[in-house]
Amino acid sequence: MSKKIVLVGGAFDILHKGHLIFLEKAKQQGDELVLLLESDEKIKKLKGEGRPVNTQSKRAAALKKLAIIDKIISLHKNMANSDYDKLILKIKPSVIATTKGDKNISHKLRQAQLTGAKLIEVTDLINGHSTTEILKKSGI
């Protein structure tokens, strides 16, 4: 019997409680948790100057310490939607896990339809637990 793969993606710039809750709930949806880690260039484009705080290699090293994650794939800087689609077709997830209010929900829905995966919102965004909010509170 094949393993049920759960796919998640994101920046995971400053690892915090919200990330941990999301990853735990995502893992509960299947047998294997695969994480797509966004490139530094994409995060800078989406979040602005000074981001990410941690480089992709540092973020990957921190995430690798979490036993809940089975595989981390570091994404390239110039990935088009078609590149994401090809990668996701290779991974063959049963579930694409997301948070309620995810800004990329339309892309994830399209990818779920493309692969036959279920798109599951595993948690709400947790107030006070985002990298952007943490940086604002710290004055960075």
Give yes or no for residue 135 having a pLDDT over 80. Answer: no
CATH code for the part of the protein at 5-138: 3.40.50.620
Strands (DSSP E) contained in 2-140 are 5-10, 32-37, 71-74, 95-99, 118-123
Give yes or no for residue 18 having a pLDDT over 80. Answer: yes
pLDDT band at 138 (very low <50, low <70, confident <90, very high): low
pTM, two decimals, is 0.89
> Average pLDDT for residues 86-100, to the nearest whole number?
97
Domain boundaries, the chain: 5-138
pLDDT band at 39 (very low <50, low <70, confident <90, very high): very high
Residue 39, amino acid? S
Q: How far apart are CA 81 and CA 140, in angstroms?
A: 31
Express as a percent the part of the chain with pLDDT over 90.
73
Cα dihedral sign for 42, 83, 29, 34? negative
pLDDT at 132: 53
Residue 123 bridge partners (DSSP): 99
